[in-house]
Amino acid sequence: MLLELDGIAADSLVDMIKLSFSWENWPAVIEVSDKLFEVITITCETSQNIIGMPPKPHLKRSTVYYVGYSLLMKGVAYQKTGQYAASRNCINQYKDLSWIKHLDEAGNAEVDYFKSMAMANGYVIELLEGNSGVLREYVRFLQALEKKELLNGMLTVLESAIKYNYSIDWVLDLFSDQIEEINSIEKREDVRSYVDYKYLLATYLYRRNNITDALNRILDILQICSKLEDEAGFRKSIAFYELIRHRASDSQQEMYQGIIKNILEREFFYDEKDILVADDVIVT
């Protein structure tokens, strides 16, 4: 993929990275992150070399933020595609950004933030490679995070537990109340993470032979995705449900049919008498 990125400002590139992330377009995340790194580096070097003063480009955040964010998101994209060595390389680059010149209070705060994220993402790579021995250290780290960051951390814990088949019931119990509070958040990027969490949780429960709870989590996802029109989450949840629907109870089947019918009712499947066409057989 080659995007036309020339002439796009740093803050617009950040927005593009966030959008690509929300759509799980990892090649685009990598490409735009590289462009952001290039743009911010050239901007700062030009300001310093020509003007001889601290760089003051038209940026909403400190220079450290853009350097760190580009490397962080590139590393996450590599992680999501299983390229763990490349992800580690990015982590090593943003774990210490104190080399950036003319740091003010905001810049120093960003340096500390990315150092913290490097530590967290180091744990992430270890877990995804099967080193469950770092789980308790990672959980202690997660306990200090905000809810959104906690949710992203739990995605890693679930992914590792599913892939390497070990129990994380105690972790789920520890964070269950905090994560459920996120259900009320309706920003697209937060909803995407929450849906991913529910989907992985359903997969984990299924792998642990807790079929009833797995189906309930899938039904939760379908309701959320139906309400917020999250097509990606809806598609994979439908596929999951259909795979194990023969294990569903009558009440779960009834709920599933209700969700599907509600979706149809939002479309155009009505006749001139305002009757849902899907409810009737057309006789010719």
pLDDT by 10s per residue, the chain, length 284: 555 566 678 889 999 999 999 888 999 999 999 999 999 988 766 555 434 445 555 778 889 999 999 999 999 999 999 999 999 999 999 999 999 888 889 899 999 999 999 999 999 999 999 999 999 999 999 998 777 778 889 999 999 999 999 999 999 999 988 887 766 555 555 677 888 899 999 999 999 999 999 999 999 999 888 877 777 788 899 999 999 999 999 999 999 999 988 877 766 555 555 555 555 554 44
pLDDT of residue 6: 67
Tally the residues of the chain.
284
Q: What is the dihedral of CA 179, 184, 190, 195, to 10 degrees?
A: 70
- Count of C-beta atoms within a 10 Å radius of residue 127: 22
Listed by start position, the domains of the chain span: 1-129, 145-284
Q: What 3-state DSSP class applies to 95?
A: coil
- Written as six digits, the tokens of 107 are 């810049």
SS3 at position 5:
coil
Tokens of 1: 């993929």
Q: What's at 154, amino acid-wise? A: M
CA dist list (Å): 167 to 83, 135, 161: 25, 11, 6
Instruction: Report pTM.
Output: 0.78
